Structure 1
Amino acid sequence: MKLERLLAMVVLLISKKQVQAAELAELFEVSVRTIYRDIKTINRAGIPIVTSQGSGGGIAIMETYRLEREWLKEDELFAIVSALQSVSSMYEPVSHSTAYQKIKHLIPEQSAEAFKHQTEKWFIDMTAWGQTEDQKALREKISAAIDRLSTISFTYTNASGETLQRETEPYTLVCKAGHWYLYAYCLVRNDFRFFKLNRMKDLTILHQSFIRKEVQLETLPWDKQWYQKDRLTELVILVQPSARQRIFEWFGNEVFHYDEDENCRAVISLPEDRWLIGFLLQFGKDIEVLQPLHIRDKVKDIIRQMQKVYGT
């Protein structure tokens, strides 16, 4: 992208007194003519770039101009690099491979060892267990459709096992709880929907383009859809000591209520769908659904069906 190239050029010129146009062209895989056009753009942005011809010549920021290094402090740069490394664990755009090196140019030599130590201090691996190359290829294909503003079609199997054909306007890829989703406008439902990538098959980028609607992604609209009041059911569950930590991790301490005998009940609200029963069953005998009765009956029914499969 041009913007990324312009920013990278400024970073390099901050760290070096002078750079050859041919060197920049090779680094960014563009022509020398493109580099000189970029220099004009940077100049118009208020950062004075000068060029000199002949041996020893090159491109540099005007000596009388000083871009404050303190714009980003070293600990802030540590945070940026650590975040890049963590994001790269689940998504590997080409730009990430060079971003780390560019940021290193902003670190004084005397701080290089501390920089290395700080950026290796912690790492967040956000990938799901058993991530496959097929998933990566699917993400790249959807990403290309988003860039081109092209609609896509795919076969989708929902949580109930129903297989449906979908045509959507793809908006953004979302990694949540280690799994990848597509947030898209569904042309079948005429509304925004959240699609899990590992439930998608036979994805095709269509020739039809679309105009993006205004959406506020920073408000996490998929979470709002998940917790819509008309979808939520309040459950009361009896929680054994062995499950309290896991319930706490999901819902926090405020859901717990203790009686005089130290029995622990949790009051939680979750969307009522097929996912809910699977969520409750993962706790096994460590929880018991007390209310509502129709959810308790559904859990009992699934257990009876499992007993038929595995034998009593």
Structure 2
Amino acid sequence: MKLERLLAIVVLLINRRRLQAKDLADMFEVSIRTIYRDIDTLGQAGIPVVTYQGASGGIGLAEGYRLDRNLLTDKDLASIVTALRSISTSHDNTARDLLVEKLSSIVPEARNEDFQASTHRFIVDYSTWTHPEALQNKLKVIDQGIDELQSICFVYCSAEGTQTCRTVDPHTLVLKRHAWYLYAFCHERKEFRMFKLVRMKEVALAAQHFERKSINLRDRPWQQEWSRPVNQIGITLKFHERARHLAEEWFGIENVLPDGNGYYVSQIAFPEDNWLYGFILGFGADVEVLEPLHIRDKVCQIAEQIIQNYKTSS
């Protein structure tokens, strides 16, 4: 029967790397044409059967399709489920939820209670405290653009407050320091750029499609560009004891050192822009810029303007 033959072919392909169509035809006493029709049927049923060309070719399953339960411990599965659930806190995804169910079903019923408990030992919550629906809507559109290789367009507000209309080819979503970014090829700039999602508005799918460019994301190209010495400036900050813990959270406990006079000093490097001035001012009166002098003067000017604003309004 055809059904029995189809099931037998699947089992053979799971247990063997590749098989020749002729060998399968001889095994089941059918024509090679029938075997290829069977392969088409399996493909339509969702079984990723692939025909490989060349001397070492043949018929096999797509790389990565086979998953041996014995290769993954309950702890391994719990780690995967925890990661998937954490990502889901930022935006809903039905396919991801179904995957969690599939992975959970692999665990024998006798160990299921312990397994579920292990997946709730800690939760990484990527959602925002306020207006989570705005972030979710952006992520859904970007997800669709990445999945369907469709460009997206939006209005972008830079750190300096300049608004521009952008069309980009979305490649990767990046979560960095509690903020979501999109790494995409910008049509206007003709290069890859990082876009902070909270600065994007009117996000929508564009009409055109694109071909995904070959980039090595394991090297984190956005980090390399940001960390280039030419894009950064060295800064020396002095912190009051009250802000020591905040400085340690940002720069690491090993980079916040006592100066012998009851204060703490940290030497850091950041790109110089309006974000940097606001970041420094965020420490309030518990920080002082020691070097460079022009940043010290700039922060002082902004602080004086803030005082003037309050004097004018009172």
Q: Report the Cα offset of residue 45 of structure 1.
A: 2.6
Whole-Å separation in 2 of the counterparts to 1:36 and 1:206: 30
Whole-Å separation in 2 of the counterparts to 1:182 and 1:195: 5
Whole-Å separation in 2 of the counterparts to 1:174 and 1:130: 20
Question: Which residue of the partner structure matches residue 18 of structure 1?
Answer: none
SS at match of 1:121: coil
Question: Which residue of the partner structure matches residue 89 of structure 2?
Answer: 89
Q: Are the equivalent residues in 2 in contact too, given 1:155–1:165 (CA < 8 A)?
A: yes
Q: Which moved more, 1:213-222 or 1:81-90?
A: 213-222
1:41 to 49, 73, 76: 49
SS at match of 1:123: coil
Q: Which amino acid aligns with 2:45?
A: R
TM-score, normalising length: structure 2: 0.76
- Could you list the per-position Cα deviations for residues 136-155 of structure 1 after superposition, in whole angstroms to 9, with x for gaps in the alignment? 22222222222232323222
Whole-Å separation in 1 of the counterparts to 2:159 and 2:67: 54
Whole-Å separation in 2 of the counterparts to 1:273 and 1:298: 11
Question: Which residue of the partner structure matches residue 266 of structure 2?
Answer: 266
Question: Which residue of the partner structure matches residue 309 of structure 1?
Answer: 309
Question: Which residue of the partner structure matches residue 293 of structure 2?
Answer: 293
Q: Which moved more, 1:197-206 or 1:115-124?
A: 197-206
Q: Are the equivalent residues in 1 in contact too, given 2:173–2:181 (CA < 8 A)?
A: yes
- Could you list the per-position Cα deviations for residues 218-247 of structure 1 after superposition, in whole angstroms to 9, with x for gaps in the alignment? 222222222221111111111111111111
Question: Which residue of the partner structure matches residue 129 of structure 1?
Answer: 129
Q: Are the equivalent residues in 2 in contact too, given 1:237–1:289 (CA < 8 A)?
A: yes
Whole-Å separation in 2 of the counterparts to 1:268 and 1:127: 29
Whole-Å separation in 1 of the counterparts to 2:164 and 2:105: 51
Q: Are the equivalent residues in 2 in contact too, given 1:237–1:291 (CA < 8 A)?
A: yes
Q: Are the equivalent residues in 1 in contact too, given 2:152–2:170 (CA < 8 A)?
A: yes
Whole-Å separation in 2 of the counterparts to 1:156 and 1:109: 50
What is the 5 A alignment of 1:204-283?
Answer: 204-283=204-283
Whole-Å separation in 1 of the counterparts to 2:131 and 2:177: 13
Q: Which amino acid aligns with 2:91?
A: Y
CA distance change for structure 1 residues 121 and 266 in 2, over 3 Å: closer, same or farther? same
Q: Which amino acid aligns with 2:170?
A: P
Q: Which amino acid aligns with 2:196?
A: K
Question: Which residue of the partner structure matches residue 115 of structure 1?
Answer: 115
Question: Which residue of the partner structure matches residue 150 of structure 1?
Answer: 150
Question: Which residue of the partner structure matches residue 53 of structure 2?
Answer: none
Whole-Å separation in 2 of the counterparts to 1:40 and 1:239: 59
Whole-Å separation in 1 of the counterparts to 2:118 and 2:272: 44
Q: Which moved more, 1:147-156 or 1:213-222?
A: 147-156
Question: Which residue of the partner structure matches residue 52 of structure 1?
Answer: none
- Could you list the per-position Cα deviations for residues 38-66 of structure 1 after superposition, in whole angstroms to 9, with x for gaps in the alignment? 358399439xxxxxxxxxxxxxxxxxxx9
Q: Which amino acid aligns with 2:49?
A: T
Q: Report the Cα offset of residue 290 of structure 1.
A: 0.8
Q: Which amino acid aligns with 2:111?
A: S
Q: Which moved more, 1:286-295 or 1:200-209?
A: 200-209
Q: Report the Cα offset of residue 34 of structure 1.
A: 6.9
Gaps of 5+ in 1: 1-8, 11-32, 47-65
Question: Which residue of the partner structure matches residue 167 of structure 2?
Answer: 167
Q: Are the equivalent residues in 1 in contact too, given 2:153–2:168 (CA < 8 A)?
A: yes
Question: What CA RMSD, in Å, does the superposition of the two structures yield over aligned residues?
Answer: 2.8
SS at match of 1:105: helix
CA distance change for structure 1 residues 304 and 75 in 2, over 3 Å: closer, same or farther? same
Question: Which residue of the partner structure matches residue 32 of structure 2?
Answer: none
Question: Which residue of the partner structure matches residue 37 of structure 2?
Answer: none
Q: Which moved more, 1:172-181 or 1:192-201?
A: 172-181
Whole-Å separation in 2 of the counterparts to 1:84 and 1:194: 24
Count of residue pairs the alignment pairs up: 265
Q: Report the Cα offset of residue 262 of structure 1.
A: 4.2
Confirm whether residue 139 of structure 1 aligns to residue 155 of structure 2: no
TM-score, normalising length: structure 1: 0.76
- Percent identical among aligned pairs is 36
Q: Which moved more, 1:228-237 or 1:125-134?
A: 125-134
Whole-Å separation in 1 of the counterparts to 2:276 and 2:48: 58
